[in-house]
Amino acid sequence: MGVDDDTGVEHQVFFAKGAEYDAYVHIRTILQTAKQDVFIIDPYMDSSIFKVLATLSPGHLRVKLLTSKVPADFALEAQKFVKQHSGFTLEPRQTKDFHDRFIILDQAVCYLLGASIKDAGNKGFTVVPLSELSIIKSIIDHANKTWSSANPVV
């Protein structure tokens, strides 16, 4: 396990059951490296994502959220989040086209998560930065294509 010199984020991290705080901090650190946009794909996302996003320095940060299960008040909470955190552009959408969870930063860097962000650390899981450029491109292309046809939540 090493540290990426460009981002300061550790490579290929395993979190044992009960490491909820460490997992949260790691995911937050990954998200904080974004310069322009964050694209989170997590089929089981809930409103806890807003707590993580609130720790970011928005500037003019575009955040796209792609999930399959949308809690009842998710759209309302998203609207209130953007109202209070005006430096964000937040776009949640719904689709059932993904099983795995990904964090894509600035349309160039991609992480694979073995658990939903809301459940990170409840059970053992890994966070793996992807390095194979053809795989990263395929994921980003598929994510963007899926995004364009997904149902807006807000």
Q: In sequence order, what DSSP letters do the residues of 110-149 get, joined into one string?
A: EEEESS-GGGBTTB-EEEEE---HHHHHHHHHHHHHHHHH
Q: Give me the CATH topology for the region 13-147.
A: Endonuclease; Chain A (3.30.870)
pLDDT for the residue 3? 46
Residue owning tokens 């981002």: 7
pLDDT for the residue 6? 53
Q: Domain-by-domain residue ranges, the chain?
A: 13-147
pLDDT for the residue 69? 87
pLDDT for the residue 10? 56
pLDDT for the residue 1? 40
Cα-flanking dihedrals φ and ψ of residue 45, to 5°?
-70, 145
Please identify every stretch of the chain with a pLDDT value under 70, giving residue numbers as ranges: 1-10, 58
Pairing of the two strands 151-152 and 88-94: antiparallel
Residue owning tokens 């990263």: 136
Burial (CB < 10 A; 0-12, 13-18, 19+), residue 34, is buried
Distance, in Å, from the CA atom of 127 to the CA atom of 15, rounded to the nearest integer, reads 8
